Amino acid sequence: MSRKIRMGMVGGGRGAFIGGVHRIAAAIDQQIELVCGAFSSNPEKSRLSGEDFFLDPSRVYGSYEEMILQEKELPEDVRMDFISIVTPNHVHFGPAKLALENGFHVVCDKPVTFSVDEARILVDLVEKSGLIFALTHNYTGYPMVKQARDMIREGKIGKIRKVVVEYPQGWLATKKEDGDHKQAAWRVDPAKSGMGGAMGDIGTHAENLAEYITGLKITEVCADLTSFVEGRRLDDDANILLRMEKGVKGVLHCSQIAVGEENGLNIRIWGETGGLEWHQEEPNTLIVKQLEGPATHLRTNVGTLSPAAMAAARVPAGHPEGYLEAFANIYRNFAKCVQARLAGTEPDPLHTDFPTVHDGLRGMVFVEKVVANSKGTEKWTKL
Amino acid sequence: MSRKIRMGMVGGGRGAFIGGVHRIAAAIDQQIELVCGAFSSNPEKSRLSGEDFFLDPSRVYGSYEEMILQEKELPEDVRMDFISIVTPNHVHFGPAKLALENGFHVVCDKPVTFSVDEARILVDLVEKSGLIFALTHNYTGYPMVKQARDMIREGKIGKIRKVVVEYPQGWLATKKEDGDHKQAAWRVDPAKSGMGGAMGDIGTHAENLAEYITGLKITEVCADLTSFVEGRRLDDDANILLRMEKGVKGVLHCSQIAVGEENGLNIRIWGETGGLEWHQEEPNTLIVKQLEGPATHLRTNVGTLSPAAMAAARVPAGHPEGYLEAFANIYRNFAKCVQARLAGTEPDPLHTDFPTVHDGLRGMVFVEKVVANSKGTEKWTKL
Amino acid sequence: MSRKIRMGMVGGGRGAFIGGVHRIAAAIDQQIELVCGAFSSNPEKSRLSGEDFFLDPSRVYGSYEEMILQEKELPEDVRMDFISIVTPNHVHFGPAKLALENGFHVVCDKPVTFSVDEARILVDLVEKSGLIFALTHNYTGYPMVKQARDMIREGKIGKIRKVVVEYPQGWLATKKEDGDHKQAAWRVDPAKSGMGGAMGDIGTHAENLAEYITGLKITEVCADLTSFVEGRRLDDDANILLRMEKGVKGVLHCSQIAVGEENGLNIRIWGETGGLEWHQEEPNTLIVKQLEGPATHLRTNVGTLSPAAMAAARVPAGHPEGYLEAFANIYRNFAKCVQARLAGTEPDPLHTDFPTVHDGLRGMVFVEKVVANSKGTEKWTKL
Amino acid sequence: MSRKIRMGMVGGGRGAFIGGVHRIAAAIDQQIELVCGAFSSNPEKSRLSGEDFFLDPSRVYGSYEEMILQEKELPEDVRMDFISIVTPNHVHFGPAKLALENGFHVVCDKPVTFSVDEARILVDLVEKSGLIFALTHNYTGYPMVKQARDMIREGKIGKIRKVVVEYPQGWLATKKEDGDHKQAAWRVDPAKSGMGGAMGDIGTHAENLAEYITGLKITEVCADLTSFVEGRRLDDDANILLRMEKGVKGVLHCSQIAVGEENGLNIRIWGETGGLEWHQEEPNTLIVKQLEGPATHLRTNVGTLSPAAMAAARVPAGHPEGYLEAFANIYRNFAKCVQARLAGTEPDPLHTDFPTVHDGLRGMVFVEKVVANSKGTEKWTKL
């Protein structure tokens, strides 16, 4: 018999942004229950956060080490099944490693780690342990992103020729890190974010989206990274030429100084016989283009879509589903896989569709190569 | 100390549409816990639904009467706090009345009842009992709908002159009720839906939205209702001229035979010095128009919006929030009011912003008058 | 052998709006030459206007009577072939009648006359004389309007059920007629405009568009007209329920007080198996909807459109064609018909596609009935 | 006293695309008269084209040499004032040079010549002769492009940081040149087009637009050009990183294999305090973005725009102006400058706003450097 799976959270205390998103995403489908947490390195703040979430105070911990080790000692029908890591980048590796070493599954925010080396260690640990590891490249959770991937798999636009993926944001156009904007502060700090600024935060989403939809790997990059805001140490803007497998050419650009842009991730793909276009801010539309004819605007839950696209939608056509629902699809699929594991069965293949530690490693390598190319003089750097 | 409030559900078993929406809406903000239900008039189906939701089998009931009466006997720290009614229209009144008579708060899907008379009785019961009653006119839960209302309150578009509210859908363009489409079947059945077809289902949403945003009541209607699909007994299309308080003129039209339309609720309002435009299918944009100048596109969480608009949003700008989040705002506000009641405090005024039994009565009267006018020969019928 | 046809203009002197539009529309396709004019009732202004247009001073006349009578005396290979009437509504009938009586073809701005009676006289004169009369309901000149009409003729959306046609403008939201806005002044003056304000100016365009595209006549109206701006004597806003031939229902609303609206004519039509949507401000797109499937966005000159739609476009896809090009299509077709007449041949049927004096009469009757219904108490008024 | 100026056309006979566009653009404002032409290298085709345009047969010439030399002998009040060159790229230089050497002004389609060397010769000739030379980079003729340029000049978006200019088309996604598509055939032929395929045809438009609006020059390029269609000798796709004056970074990509794209030129510019966005296919909107606030959608002729933007529009707001009107703005400004020259006066500064031979040379250099960079191994190539 099935049951809700039990989540322990690392980070995400009062005032944090992404922690709240993860909690909602985990709650939406009612397959996951938050049972414990180490919400902050500040024990008092962790305690108060536990109250906010109506948790048993005995399961609100002062550190992730404490949480993992103490939960392990609880009876099997009580203890958490997995941890959700929602801390800044430099605090992903520690809890992920410890959880895997102690038999807990993991959901981790992206980028997976602070460095490529850390990512490789996690890949090893996941492979050795057989535990389930989900990385929240949440944009691949949208129904119409899955539809795009599936149409390409089925050859609906022919052999792919060109990809343009963009991710403009404007929220770091001024030196917000000098104020009390907590997220801005760590995002631009190389000691916490890693070697990529905008690249690590959103460039990896763009890279992941392009590879997810096309099914092709980026093979070479030629990059021009900039820190526009004076005194900023990490890139806040990136323009990159891409070469991908099978002769595909492309452009990836992302920015956090694009004044007035909200969260403008979008992708256009052109093949020999068709084209696809998707915009994250209007996520329920997928524009399909053809040779010598008009475009069709596919919409979430209108007509017949691919099984994965239909499984990813919850409400009828015209009832817009958004960011949280797409994010929740990762949690739902992850939960279904954990439930199958608990039940000793194979998961439905539709449920295995979520980003993993391998996507995490790939993103880390991408950032490393882009940064290296931008600093160097060679035109193309291989991945 | 605060706690999650406990929900018992009436209707919404396996395969039902709106029940699932209510459960997600209740879950999103993690203030509500589903503890019991009478999910179907078929006891086996109710039992299986209980399993789906991981409920204690002893709290999965065979009927709403059973649920209300047995829950009442449970200890205070266990029993449900409120019921959520997600049955077809003709089964709203019974559970609502019984719940109110037994001290339970109520969330009810719209339209509030089958008839105006039933609605009046519920109004009385709510007023006498002092219990909290929320009606899920969910479209008023969107941040930009609240922003529109608040801008009008502040006089940003001057004295209102004209309102056009539309609600085109296409899902009943063919005789779907003859197949096995459960929702279609009861929606077009006068014995289950009441006197309005499209009017009751979506016309009331349009009416509610127009009155909510403008703060003005509709005073007279002139209507032309049609049943386009042969053999259908209730209207599937309505065109209505409106007159509202303070000399406002308007048009309301809705349809369920508008082929290709998904869920196209939208509203435009023009005042003496400005105009507002909002579309449910792109809910995070509110277009603001002015005399002799360009339009501004307000967006959820961009810049400074009204307190109610900001409170209604969960994630930063550009992370689209949709139907479920708007729906959840009704549940969240309702939950906060119940928690305040439990704590013996006054709720935050922002949390009292949800539709009530009074809106329900108003909707019933609106449908009654529209149907009467459409059948008669007088031009204008007063509400 | 073919030649350019020769135009004499009535009205349209310096500073007039619509006269300039007609001159551009006549010039675009290089089939028409402006040879003479009576541009103003002020002879000096008429003379100066003639200079602006590089005309022979001897053919710049002080009145339309003078122009028509003197041009008639010129040699056949010199004299004008037709007059273009671009004066306010109350000065349409005089020049049109005199031109027809003296053997000149006519292009006339809409509405065709000041009153229904005048319109009937012109219909008679055109029929008796056999002369060619074009009315500039220019919005039917757009390629995608012709495509919509042709798709309906071919049954692409099945039997029509519902039509919604809108024409919101905001330019008369304030009392502009009290300033020196020449066009505003005569538009709101019953002695110059006739019995309709917004109705005559733009309501007739909406009526004409709906009937042109659907091929169906409006049979009954139920109207609510308003003069929102204090002191204004003609309607500046209209909300109208429509009944059309073959059981079609509809809504027509137009306004000149819809603050912030530019020139928002648009139409949506739903049939039993499909739907069409067109917006004048994005005229190169026609949205085609279907049962249970996604919408297609037809675009000017993309793929294969109807012969009339293709003939109405001048440049390849993606090179936007606008208002002046659509207007020019009326002049081009008119010119081609006059050239055919000169050559003694039958015109290409594609070239006979322009509004005529009959459309003009129909528009006048429509305004008359709408105004009467709005003032009266009967619900429906037959046309 | 002013008069229409007289145009002789080189190329643009029956069936040609761009010749017809130039004739319409010259006709719209009624300041220019087509008086002669050498429409084709085929004398019979040239003669028939002359008939189509109602020309005096004695002024329909067999070659541009004949036209220029014979027109020069005609009386001053008869002979043409300028030539309009609408031939394929390799036939721009000859007629332009001969016209300038014989005292005729020139309008020339872009790119200005076949090679950089030819372009330099024309620059010299124009400078020495003092004659007027307009290059039809028509996209700078749009009102909202001028508005964008003027807002940047006035500092409305602060110091510019990033520019993204795109020009996707799909019309050469298949090997159309193997059929009877005349334009496709010469566009992909290095002997007729020059060293750039898509680069010469549309890449130069993108480059010109970016420099026109920003007022900044491109200083370095890093390019990846591709010929996707097998057997094609010139690029049909280009992805380019840009560096511009004052530290601006950017991306330019253009394509003629982007299936389903029509003529998607668009540009986004972000400065320190604002952003601008313009799309050629919806040319009457300019989106203006700001720090921490909503976007404003400026529209042609709505409210107060810059003098150049207002001068470039012909009809009121909401009456869409398109490609031909923008193109006509170059002809109108050119005509006004020639009229001023004839009158011995200085032209209105607003009328000197059109691209010149200098823009032509710049475009040629841009193509040369991009092609060189794409073939080479150095990362950045200076212009």
Do the Cβ atoms of A163 and A250 come closer than 8 Å?
yes
What's the pLDDT at B159?
Answer: 98
What's the pLDDT at C250?
Answer: 98
- Per-residue three-class SS string for A76-121: CCCCCCEEEECCCHHHCHHHHHHHHHCCCEEEECCCCCCCHHHHHH
Nearest CA in chain A to C284: A294
Alpha helices per DSSP H over chain A:
18-28, 43-52, 64-73, 93-101, 116-129, 143-153, 182-187, 190-193, 198, 204-214, 307-311, 323-343, 357-375
Of B273, B275, B290, the CB nearest to C258: B275
- Per-residue three-class SS string for B130-167: CCCEEECCHHHHCHHHHHHHHHHHCCCCCCEEEEEEEE
Nearest CA in chain D to C34: D30
- Per-residue three-class SS string for C285-322: EEEEEECCEEEEEEECCCCCCCHHHHHCCCCCCCCCCC
Q: Is C273 on the interface with A (CB under 8 A)?
A: no
Q: Which residues of B touch C251 (CB under 8 A)?
A: 239, 251, 253
What's the pLDDT at A219?
Answer: 98
Q: Is D220 on the interface with A (CB under 8 A)?
A: no
CB contact (8 A) between residue D321 and residue C321: no
The whole-angstrom separation of Cα C76 and Cα B218 is 65
What's the pLDDT at C261?
Answer: 98
Amino acid of residue A219: T
Residue B269: both structure tokens together: 């309002």
Q: Which residues of B touch D292 (CB under 8 A)?
A: 302-303
Q: Which residues of A touch D159 (CB under 8 A)?
A: none
Q: A1: pLDDT confidence band, cut at 50, 70 and 90?
A: low
- Per-residue three-class SS string for chain D: CCCCEEEEEECCCCCCCHHHHHHHHHHCCCCEEEEEEECCCCHHHHHHHHHHCCCCHHHECCCHHHHHHHHHHCCCCCCCCEEEECCCHHHCHHHHHHHHHCCCEEEECCCCCCCHHHHHHHHHHHHHHCCCEEECCHHHHCHHHHHHHHHHHCCCCCCEEEEEEEEECCCCCCCHHHCCCHHHHHHCCHHHHCCCCHHHHHHHHHHHHHHHHHCCCEEEEEEEEECCCCCCCCCCEEEEEEEEHHHCEEEEEEECCCCCCCCCCEEEEEECCEEEEEECCCCCEEEEEECCEEEEEEECCCCCCCHHHHHCCCCCCCCCCCHHHHHHHHHHHHHHHHHHHHHCCCCCHHHHCCCCHHHHHHHHHHHHHHHHHHHCCECCEEC
pLDDT at C314 over 70: yes
Amino acid of residue C21: V
Of C292, C295, C302, the CB nearest to A293: C302
Task: Tell me how close the Cα of B292 comes to any Cα of chain D, in angstroms.
Answer: 5
Of B293, B302, B303, the CB nearest to D302: B293
What's the pLDDT at D279?
Answer: 98
Helix C204-214 with C143-153: angle, nearest 10 deg? 40
The whole-angstrom separation of Cα D103 and Cα A37 is 85
CB contact (8 A) between residue B261 and residue A318: yes
What's the pLDDT at B382?
Answer: 98
Of B292, B293, B298, the CB nearest to D294: B298
* Mode of pairing for the β-strands spanning D285-290 and D293-299: antiparallel
Q: Which residues of C touch D24 (CB under 8 A)?
A: 28-30, 314
CB contact (8 A) between residue A297 and residue C296: yes
The whole-angstrom separation of Cα D160 and Cα D245 is 10
Q: What is the mean pLDDT of chain D?
A: 96
- ipTM of this predicted complex? 0.96
Do the Cβ atoms of A260 and D248 come closer than 8 Å?
no
Do the Cβ atoms of C131 and C83 come closer than 8 Å?
no
Entry pTM? 0.97
CB contact (8 A) between residue B292 and residue D298: no
Residue B90: both structure tokens together: 């003709």
For B:27-86, CB contacts with A below 8 A are 27-30, 34, 51, 53-54
Q: Among C139-143, C379-383, D176-180, name the one with the lowest average pLDDT.
A: D176-180
* Mean pLDDT across D238-266: 98
Q: Which residues of C touch B272 (CB under 8 A)?
A: 173, 259
Residue C47: both structure tokens together: 């003379």
What's the pLDDT at C180?
Answer: 85
Q: Which of C4, C323, C329 to mutate to test the interface with D (most CBs of D within 10 A)?
A: C323
Nearest to B350 by CA among B334, B370, B371, B328: B334
What's the pLDDT at C2?
Answer: 85
Task: Tell me how close the Cα of A262 comes to any Cα of chain B, in angstroms.
Answer: 5
Q: Is A291 on the interface with B (CB under 8 A)?
A: no
Q: D1: pLDDT confidence band, cut at 50, 70 and 90?
A: low
Q: Is D162 on the interface with A (CB under 8 A)?
A: yes
Q: Which residues of A touch B34 (CB under 8 A)?
A: 30
CB contact (8 A) between residue A2 and residue B263: no
The whole-angstrom separation of Cα A275 and Cα D167 is 15
* Digit-coded pLDDT (tens) for B317-335: 999 999 999 999 999 999 9
The whole-angstrom separation of Cα A371 and Cα A366 is 9
Q: Is C152 on the interface with B (CB under 8 A)?
A: no
Q: Which chains touch A (3+ CB pairs under 8 A)?
A: B, C, D
Do the Cβ atoms of B175 and B71 come closer than 8 Å?
no
* Mean pLDDT across C118-125: 98
* Mean pLDDT across B211-234: 97
The whole-angstrom separation of Cα D147 and Cα D321 is 15
Give chain B's domains with CATH numbers.
5-131 (3.40.50.720), 143-315+362-382 (3.30.360.10)
pLDDT at D227 over 80: yes
**What is the CA D369 to chain-centroid distance, rounded?**
20
Q: C1: pLDDT confidence band, cut at 50, 70 and 90?
A: low
Q: Is B19 on the interface with A (CB under 8 A)?
A: no
What's the pLDDT at B1?
Answer: 57
Task: Tell me how close the Cα of C152 comes to any Cα of chain D, in angstroms.
Answer: 25
Burial of residue C138, with CB atoms counted within 10 A of its CB: 0-12 exposed, 13-18 middle, 19 or more buried: buried
Of B4, B24, B315, the CB nearest to A314: B24
Q: C16: pLDDT confidence band, cut at 50, 70 and 90?
A: confident
Task: Tell me how close the Cα of A31 comes to any Cα of chain B, in angstroms.
Answer: 9
Q: Which residues of A touch C299 (CB under 8 A)?
A: 294-295
Task: Tell me how close the Cα of C238 comes to any Cα of chain B, in angstroms.
Answer: 9
D17 or D228, which is more confident?
A: D228
pLDDT at B2 over 90: no
Task: Tell me how close the Cα of D378 comes to any Cα of chain C, in angstroms.
Answer: 36
In this complex, how many residue pairs, one in chain B and one in chain D, have their CB atoms less than 8 Å apart?
30
Do the Cβ atoms of A352 and A328 come closer than 8 Å?
no
The whole-angstrom separation of Cα D214 and Cα D267 is 11
Q: CB neighbours of A117 closer than 8 A, spacing ≥ 6?
A: none
* Mode of pairing for the β-strands spanning C82-85 and B381-382: unpaired
Percentage, residues of chain B above pLDDT 70: 100
Nearest to C360 by CA among C114, C150, C168: C114
What's the pLDDT at D323?
Answer: 98
* Digit-coded pLDDT (tens) for B154-176: 999 999 999 999 999 999 999 99
* Digit-coded pLDDT (tens) for D309-355: 999 999 999 999 999 999 999 999 999 999 999 999 999 999 999 99
Q: Which residues of D touch C53 (CB under 8 A)?
A: 30
Q: Which chains touch D (3+ CB pairs under 8 A)?
A: A, B, C
Residue C204: both structure tokens together: 């007739």
Q: Is C183 on the interface with D (CB under 8 A)?
A: no
In this complex, how many residue pairs, one in chain A and one in chain C, have their CB atoms less than 8 Å apart?
30
Distances (CA, A) of D336 to A231, A303, D61: 51, 56, 27
Do the Cβ atoms of B219 and B383 come closer than 8 Å?
yes
CB contact (8 A) between residue D222 and residue A222: yes
Q: Is C291 on the interface with A (CB under 8 A)?
A: no
Q: Tokens 């004076």 appear where?
A: A230
* Digit-coded pLDDT (tens) for D108-117: 999 999 999 9
The whole-angstrom separation of Cα B157 and Cα C278 is 28
